[in-house]
Structure 1
Amino acid sequence: MIEELIRPEIRSFIPYDANQQPYKIKLDANESPFNMPLKARQKLSEFILNNPGLNLYPDTDSVKLRKALSEHWKVDYRNIIVGTGSDQLIQILANVFVGPGDRVLYPAPSFGMYADSCIIAGGTPVKYILQPENRFEYSKQTILEAYDKEKPKLVYICNPNNPTGNLMPRGDVLEVAGYCKDAVVIVDEAYAEFCDDTVIPDTAEYENLIVLKTFSKAYGLAGIRCGYSIAGPGLTNAVNLARAPYNISSLSQYAALLVLEEKTEIAQNISYLVNEREWLSKELTKIQGIDVYNSYANFILVRVDNCREVYKKLCEKGIFVRIFGASPLLENCLRISVGIRQQNTVLLDELNTICYNK
């Protein structure tokens, strides 16, 4: 009976499986291997011990955090909205702009929330394909042609793209934003710190351009669920229409503030992971039966002979990576989050054992 009450377009949804099992090495969720900086943890502890005021609702507008972010990015704090992870902002964007019959253009393969949020809002998601034979590279021409054909309300660019690691050049992104004047162009920069590339300064010029950021990846705060958007005033005000009150806890706001203050340590962590990404990519190419894709993020996509068997054997050793069973574009692919050298070395040793002793 309950199933019959569910909207037909949502009945086929499969709840996200976070693979919450005991593990030895966890490289399946693009998390940072680095904990919250020690100084920040100490200050957070003092905050909790002294008087966190958790009996009161948090600042519904996250003003202190937004002002800190405005100083970091050199933008007006009034053009920043904070969300419970960038996931919440993706759903808010769909709720504000998408209705029955409206189309949303998004890359495939990419982050599943783009399509899911559209369906939940009653719209129709439309893929533009990142071709495997072209190493999943972005094509601005493909996006422009799809825009002309589909007339979407929203156009997504995941930059760098998850799970392929590709980066669309800034000039191409801005050309898309300038061409798609009757759509909101959403650039998801969840992993952009790992390539030092952003179009945030361009939101002042392009009124239809919005950038999504997160504390979950480069800042190592996946556990606090905090993301934010930056756009011009008109688009920011529109998105704020559907933002729930008190959507970010006091603890999450304060933790994010503290980590923003630790710029030197965060920059060192990012530099370490970028260097480790390049080393790990090079080592993976030496293993028989593994094809490595270039990445600008904190993960590496690989295509593997006997992929399911390799994945199964890694799991048996307590090493978790991400497999993509449901996507034909990612057939036989694994996504490997970049860890510290010790973790990466163990992974390589196991892969060598598996691939050379089949």
Structure 2
Amino acid sequence: MKAIKPHLPALPDYPYTTAQALIKLDQNESPYGLPAELKAELASRLAELPLNRYPRMHAETLAERIADFEGWPESGVVVGPGSNTIIFALVAAAQNILDVQPSFVHYEHSAHLLGAPYKAVLLREGFELPVEEIQQALSEGEPGVFFLPNPHTPTGAFFALERVAAIAQTAAAEEWLMVVDEAYYQFAPADMKRQAQGELHLAILRTFSKAWGLAGARAGYLLASDEVARVVRNLLPPFGVPSLTVLAVELALEHPGYVAEAVEKVRRERDRVYLELKAHPVWDAYPSHTNFLLIRTPDAEAAYQGLLKRGVLVRRQDHIPGLEGAIRVTIGTPVENDAFLQAAFELAKEEWGKEKEPDDATGED
């Protein structure tokens, strides 16, 4: 079709397919969401919301609330209907895209859709951050946007801030914009916000979809310099953040205490599930600083289908280079996690003919 840019029809779809299951652990959503009393308050406020009117052009009132919450200049806050839309706008603005591999697939997907030159640097063994290799890549060719998720998705690794800061210094010297995607920062020991304040070449991307439990509301935001924020804001559609979204997020920002409680519950369950999986005879789980676990299996398709057969939906990750055999499981409620663990060990016995050894169950060598 001549009306369409010729590179677009040949591109693969975004790599996600869903399935019906009793227990949904495939999209890194919070198992808790808004507390009941806040849901009731949201319903009350919704009755007064003038849905016949357009929302603010760029969610300015919400940007102001976020600026107050984050201690960031309002002019440097960009709000979008999900952080994915902000990533898309950043890619649209960029001359080049630099990434690590494996990584969040939306960076590369957006680059291919928009025809932006794309390059990725492989993580080292054990998902270690290759600082020198990234610095070398930043020094070559025209500058652009470098995306670095930290905590890292899809592995759950956390990169030490001094190593991230060293890369940020090179990015600034070479006039790249480094975007640290902190979608899971509430689950990590530290973040880069302080280092990014006042910096032209360093920005922070965050979301309300994970720890805040508002994935259905679709809201994300960028903390950047005034210059970068203005460009990104202009690339987002006007009136793009619905009034319903603004209402839900502003209410959550008025009561942020529930987030810490939910995060602590997820952390405890994440560590419990990780320790339980150490006794699995054929699966290897990686340590995580997020609300999910990456697990290496002998056969991702068999693991995915076997869990689905038992009513548990997880996410295959074996399409990503370097993650052969890998699946990813979101940490859910204790009941959901127990069901996943039971299915995982049943599958080991059925699919690979192996059972949990007594010594492994106690953690002894």
The verdict on a shared fold, with TM-score over 0.5 as the criterion, is yes
Amino acid at match of 2:62: L
Going from structure 1 to structure 2, the CA distance change for 1:227 and 1:324 (only over 3 Å counts) comes to same
Counterpart-to-counterpart distance in 1, 2:167 and 2:188: 20
Amino acid at match of 1:91: F
Report how far residue 310 of structure 1 moved: 2.0
List aligned pairs for 1:150-161, cutoff 5 A: 150-161=141-152
Q: Tell me, which stretches of 5 or more residues in structure 2 are unaligned?
A: 352-365
* Contact 1:106/1:157 (<8 A) preserved: yes
* Contact 1:105/1:152 (<8 A) preserved: no
Matched, 1:115 2:112: no
* Contact 1:96/1:241 (<8 A) preserved: no
Matched, 1:353 2:346: yes
Residues 114-134 of structure 1 show CA distances to partners (whole Å, capped at 9, x for unaligned) of 112222332111011113xx2
Counterpart-to-counterpart distance in 2, 1:151 and 1:288: 48
Amino acid at match of 1:44: L
* Contact 2:127/2:155 (<8 A) preserved: yes
- Please name the residue that 2:87 is paired with: 90
Q: Secondary structure at the match of 2:127?
A: coil
* Contact 2:14/2:109 (<8 A) preserved: no
- 2:201 aligned residue (194, 208, 232): 208
- Please name the residue that 1:270 is paired with: 263
RMSD: 1.6
Report how far residue 18 of structure 1 moved: 4.5
* Contact 2:94/2:116 (<8 A) preserved: no
Matched, 1:59 2:50: no
- Please name the residue that 1:176 is paired with: 167
Amino acid at match of 2:128: E
Q: Percent identity?
A: 28
Counterpart-to-counterpart distance in 2, 1:309 and 1:192: 32
Matched, 1:284 2:281: no
Q: Secondary structure at the match of 1:47?
A: helix
Report how far residue 58 of structure 1 moved: 0.4
- 2:41 aligned residue (37, 40, 43): 43
* Contact 2:283/2:296 (<8 A) preserved: yes
Amino acid at match of 2:150: N
Q: Secondary structure at the match of 2:139?
A: helix
After the TM superposition, which of the residue ranges 292-301 and 302-311 deviates more from structure 2? Answer: 302-311
- Please name the residue that 2:360 is paired with: none
Report how far residue 5 of structure 1 moved: 4.7
Matched, 1:146 2:143: no
- 2:188 aligned residue (191, 195, 206): 195
List aligned pairs for 1:229-248, cutoff 5 A: 229-248=222-241
Counterpart-to-counterpart distance in 1, 2:195 and 2:186: 17
* Contact 2:296/2:326 (<8 A) preserved: yes
Residues 134-184 of structure 1 show CA distances to partners (whole Å, capped at 9, x for unaligned) of 211212112101212344411111111111111122222222111112111
Matched, 1:127 2:120: yes
Amino acid at match of 2:156: G
Counterpart-to-counterpart distance in 2, 1:175 and 1:151: 20
- Please name the residue that 2:220 is paired with: 227
Report how far residue 289 of structure 1 moved: 0.6
* Contact 1:40/1:255 (<8 A) preserved: no
Q: Secondary structure at the match of 1:10?
A: coil
Report how far residue 241 of structure 1 moved: 2.4
Matched, 1:258 2:258: no
Matched, 1:78 2:71: no
Q: Secondary structure at the match of 1:357?
A: helix
Going from structure 1 to structure 2, the CA distance change for 1:180 and 1:292 (only over 3 Å counts) comes to same
- 2:286 aligned residue (293, 301, 326): 293
TM-score normalised by structure 1 residue count:
0.93
Q: Tell me, which stretches of 5 or more residues in structure 1 are unaligned?
A: none
Counterpart-to-counterpart distance in 2, 1:63 and 1:306: 48
Report how far residue 63 of structure 1 moved: 2.5
* Contact 1:188/1:212 (<8 A) preserved: yes
Residues 302-342 of structure 1 show CA distances to partners (whole Å, capped at 9, x for unaligned) of 10123321221111122111112422311100111111111
TM-score normalised by structure 2 residue count:
0.91
Matched, 1:106 2:127: no
- Please name the residue that 1:7 is paired with: 5
Report how far residue 199 of structure 1 moved: 1.2
